[in-house]
């Protein structure tokens, strides 16, 4: 019988974007119903499959979006958001398949829930792109998010410290300004999508922070010091203000934590 890790492995190696969304939703639904048993027999791939037509460039080679407020700029923004959410599906699936055996049932349930919500986010943004006359894959993307997954593939604590508690937390900082810009452009449907994503991402970051605390307790680590060490070791960027302190606090990230590495 297929187990959870095998279903995750297949979803990760599904390159078609809509196929990955459907595979993710199906495996989460089946696991919740008890049809898909928890098991970790499959090894996770080093890199997930992405759509064949997707042009992946180094982060420094990405083209500029164009004049602010232009149609080209608007499409580039939503295409970038679509890619972030698409890779977020892979990140949530991979953290379950790679570390679920050692982190417990609550960890599995939380991050399968994250995967389902990231799939929903991508589907909402993709439909919005189509309504604008564009498709996911029309513009180049970069693999920076997945590089962080590869950097932390050896350790659940490092993965939690970097992906939910740094990268997704950064989304809490920048999304409100993006939402305001979208509203100013009269894109109320897009604003609703971004508000839904912001609300969900607070819970995603909170799950990361909660399970990082658990990881530290079970490994005899002091959370704040261990998080700072992991960020300095594995995060290639810099943490710079402004921070969305209220959203971060709602997600369980105190200001003294992240200011310790600014």
User: Domain segments of the chain: what residues?
Assistant: 73-261
Each residue's pLDDT tens digit, 49-83:
999 999 999 887 888 776 666 888 999 999 999 99
**How far is it, in rounded angstroms, from Cα 10 to Cα 15?**
10
Each residue's pLDDT tens digit, 238-248:
888 899 999 99
Helix (H) or strand (E) holding 142: strand 141-142
**Mean pLDDT over residues 129-149, rounded?**
95
Q: Is 141 helix (H, G, I), strand (E, B) or coil?
A: strand
Question: Among candidates 145, 144, 200, 202, which has minimal Cα distance to 169?
Answer: 202
Q: Domain 73-261 maps to which CATH number in 1.10.10, 1.25.40, 1.10.357, 1.20.1260?
A: 1.20.1260
Instruction: Supply the pTM of this predicted model.
Output: 0.96
Each residue's pLDDT tens digit, 20-53:
999 999 999 999 999 999 999 999 999 999 999 9
| 100: its two tokens | 């679920």
Average pLDDT, the chain: 95
**How far is it, in rounded angstroms, from Cα 60 to Cα 64?**
10
């Amino acid at each position: 019988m297929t187990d959870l890790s095998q279903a995750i492995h297949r979803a990760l190696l599904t390159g078609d974007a809509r196929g990955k969304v459907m595979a993710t939703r199906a495996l989460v639904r089946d696991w919740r119903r008890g049809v898909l048993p928890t098991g970790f027999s499959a090894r996770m791939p080093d890199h997930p499959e992405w759509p064949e037509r997707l042009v992946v460039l180094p982060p420094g080679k990405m083209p500029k979006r164009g004049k602010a407020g232009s149609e080209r700029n608007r499409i580039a923004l939503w295409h970038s958001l679509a890619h972030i959410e698409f890779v977020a599906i892979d990140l949530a699936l991979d953290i379950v398949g790679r570390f679920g055996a050692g982190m417990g049932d609550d960890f599995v349930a939380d991050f399968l829930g994250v995967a389902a919500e990231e799939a929903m986010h991508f589907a909402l943004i993709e439909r919005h792109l189509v309504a604008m006359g564009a498709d996911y894959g029309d513009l180049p993307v970069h693999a920076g998010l997945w590089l962080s997954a590869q950097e932390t593939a050896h350790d659940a604590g490092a993965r939690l410290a970097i992906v939910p508690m740094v990268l997704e937390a950064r989304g809490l900082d920048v999304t409100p300004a993006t939402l305001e810009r979208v509203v100013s452009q009269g894109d109320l449907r897009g604003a609703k999508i971004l508000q839904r994503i912001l609300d969900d991402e607070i819970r995603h970051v909170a799950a990361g922070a909660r399970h990082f605390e658990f990881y530290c307790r079970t490994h005899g680590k002091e959370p704040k010091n261990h998080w700072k060490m992991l960020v300095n070791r594995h995060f290639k960027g810099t943490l710079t203000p402004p921070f969305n302190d209220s959203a971060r606090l709602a997600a369980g990230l105190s200001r003294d934590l992240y200011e310790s590495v600014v």
